[in-house]
A and B are shown apart, each in its own frame.
Chain A
């Protein structure tokens, strides 16, 4: 994707199609200086209509102990303006260097249950909003 500021003028057709097909999004983001990476925002800004009234769950990742809680807080206004709906449950991978081994294997089994809760809610929201988008007219 070109690194300029043209928004949907630099839309990638494959990314756009994937977003249009999706009923929900899982956004995994590291925390950089209490916020999200600029490139994540750059990619998300290339679409809009593809997101409207779809749920997004956020997975925060950080080297420190807080598991990306600050990036998630900072990200919520962006999601809202993109038309996405944030879910109630987050997953926070704090001290990520200790949560996975060098091969990417999960070392803390507590994350299995937490991620399961996260995905259950995301699927519920995806089904609910899908039904709404398909069947419930605005102002009805």
Chain B
């Protein structure tokens, strides 16, 4: 994963979120398999945090937003 990516924007408040975690998830369906990173053999599930409580948002794949 590149170190420089555009920040994820919170769809509720428009603030920038911090990308602080990735998890490799093995695809369980054909739809998920389409998002698979072939070099890792799975889908990267990202976790982003807004600097405010209860503002976590999670995305399946870095190109989904």
Residues of A within 8 A of B (CB): 17, 20-21, 23, 49-50, 52-53, 83, 132-140
Contact = CB atoms under 8 A, between A and B. Distances in A.
B18 A136 contact: yes
Contacts, number: 47
Main secondary structure of the interface of A (DSSP, over half): loop
Contacts of B54: 17, 20-21
B49 A133 contact: yes
B41 interface: no
Interface in B1-40: 1-3, 18-23
A50 B56 contact: yes
Interface of B: 1-3, 18-23, 47, 49, 51, 53-58
A28 B54 CA distance: 23
A133 B56 CA distance: 10
B21 A138 contact: yes
